[in-house]
A = this chain, B = another copy of it.
Amino acid sequence: MAAFREASPDQAELLEALVEAGLLVPSGVPGVYGRGSDFEDVRQRFDAYVTRAAAAAGERPEVLRFPPVLPRRQIEDLGYLENFPHLAGAVFAFEGTEAQARAMAETAGRHEDWSAHQCMTDLVLTPAVCYPVYPAIARRGALPAGGVTIDPGASYAFRHEPSGDPARLQMFHMRELVRIAEPETVQTWRDGWRDRALALLVDLGLDASFDVASDPFFGRSGRMMAASQREQALKFEILVPIAAPEPTAVASFNYHQDHFSGLYGITTADGGTAHTACLGFGHERIVLALLHTHGLDVAAWPPEVRTLLWGAEA
């Protein structure tokens, strides 16, 4: 078992209230919940709100969708296990005979350890929704003039960090947008979305602010990686109070420079190395922030918030 993070008393109280209201459905494993209809409705409405904001900003991103599993080879190439060995999830499966299958099923039926019957497959769980985008774009050859903007939607991402905090899920929706273009274009896009996203969340009545941030790099050398990332302001986050001593990151804005484009060989129309940036809205955290701020009865939310999410139906 990974180190389980206990919920703070207010996190435990929020989780209990969410379950009581039918907004979350416990599975028995911390950080893995079903979602009731109101929770899911708000999540879908927020997704459409972001899509409308992109259109209003004159963006027409290309829709691409990917399943929540990724070739194992890809996280090996990306060095994901150097930086986040503790968060990765790998898919294992059975490759044996009928007798071995019986032994495995009997062991599992007694709730004993059947891991020795499982082999690593070619797949891992997708740790970040933008990862499959880069090789897909590289495969097309050089970028068109002005680069591309890709909408990989609100797909699932996996992080192995079991916690009692309802805002720290092991499997969650990350609504991303990805920009691949000349370096200045990408930076301007990233900063524009940081400001736009802050306004979108403030308009929904959330006490949102942004800050320079770093990824949860592992171990001692990870602390140096995090410091360097902060120093170069490669990552911004938007923070909102949910139920914790500190506000929770609900969105992030990441400038990867040539990390992905160099690895996959993505070049601009004139043959230069492209740069990439992505933004991600943590769907479940944003729904939780809205529920925490406006109350668990969605129908009783402030009319201006309901109008922004539900439009004329509100």
Interface residues of A (CB under 8 A from B): 1-2, 25-29, 32-37, 40-41, 62-71, 73-76, 79, 81-82, 85-86, 88-96, 98, 101-102, 104-105, 108-109, 111, 113-115, 118-123, 125, 132, 135-136, 139, 156, 158, 160, 162, 169-172, 218-220
Contact = CB atoms under 8 A, between A and B. Distances in A.
A120 B122 contact: no
Counted per complex, copies of this chain come to: 2
Contacts of A81: 94, 101, 104-105, 108-109, 114
B2 A95 contact: yes
Contacts of A104: 81, 85
* Contact residues of A: prevailing secondary structure: mixed
A34 B73 contact: no
14 contacts: A25-B139, A28-B73, A28-B135, A33-B67, A34-B67, A35-B65, A40-B63, A67-B169, A68-B68, A82-B105, A85-B105, A90-B118, A93-B160, A123-B170
A125 B91 contact: yes
Contacts of A28: 71, 73-74, 135
B101 A68 contact: no
A261 B93 CA distance: 28
Given A28-B71, A156-B68, A113 B121 contact: no
A213 B26 CA distance: 34
Contacts of A1: 95, 122
A136 to B, nearest CB: 5
A90 B91 contact: yes
Contact of A120 (B32, B113, B169, B170): B113
B82 A109 contact: yes
Given A104-B81, A118-B90, A123-B29, A67 B171 contact: yes
Given A1-B95, A94-B85, A113-B120, A108 B156 contact: no
Contacts of A63: 36-37, 40-41
Nearest to A39: B65
Q: Looking at A25, A79, A85, A98, which has the most chain B CB atoms within 10 Å of its CB?
A: A85
A160 B27 contact: no
* A1, A67, A139, most chain B CB atoms within 10 A: A67
Contacts of A171: 67-69
A43 to B, nearest CB: 9
Given A40-B63, A93-B160, A118-B92, A101 B219 contact: yes
A22 to B, nearest CB: 9
Contacts of A82: 102, 105, 109
A90 B108 CA distance: 12
